[in-house]
């Protein structure tokens, strides 16, 4: 068996290791001038795959190899840990709306607040 595909997979895994480390999950702390420390926390998803084959060489000699490997990394922010005066608080990062219905539900409180303010202003104007 040709060793080119395992070598390609190993090279891809090594590149992913170089891109993703513990700092991708627990980010570097950020300290503000007033003594608050903010630590980002993320989820990391990794995927890779590859394939290849030796082809028959009708002219003799070594069979040619054709193949490919690909990979990807996705970093999704989950929350921030806020450290102040020895107390730790977690501030979640809301997930974006996945559908139109989710987006409408997400916008409803702000829309109602604006509508109420508009109607109150109109009522005061009369």
The DSSP code sequence of 29-71 is PEE-TTS-EEEEEEEEEEEEEEEEEEPP-TTSSSPPEEEEEEE
Tens of pLDDT, residues 26-44? 888 999 999 899 999 988 8
Please list the ranges in the chain whose pLDDT falls under 50: 1
DSSP string, 105-118: HHHHHHHHHHHHHH
Q: Are 27 and 42 in contact (CB under 8 A)?
A: yes
Q: Is 98 exposed, middle or buried (0-12, 13-18, 19+ CB in 10 A)?
A: exposed
Residue 3, pLDDT score: 67
Predicted TM-score (pTM) of the model is 0.51
Residue 88, pLDDT score: 92
């Amino acid at each position: 068996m040709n060793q080119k595909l395992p070598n390609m997979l190993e090279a891809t895994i090594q590149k992913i290791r170089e891109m993703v480390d513990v700092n991708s999950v627990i980010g570097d702390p950020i300290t503000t001038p007033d003594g608050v420390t903010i630590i980002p926390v993320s989820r990391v998803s990794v995927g890779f795959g590859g394939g290849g084959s030796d082809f028959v060489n009708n002219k003799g000699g070594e069979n040619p190899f054709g193949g490919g490997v690909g990979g990807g990394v996705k970093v999704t922010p989950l929350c921030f840990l806020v450290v102040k005066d020895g107390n730790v608080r977690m501030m979640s990062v809301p997930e974006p709306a996945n559908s139109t219905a989710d987006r409408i539900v997400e916008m409803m409180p702000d829309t109602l607040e604006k509508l109420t303010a508009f109607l109150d202003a109109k009522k005061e104007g009369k």
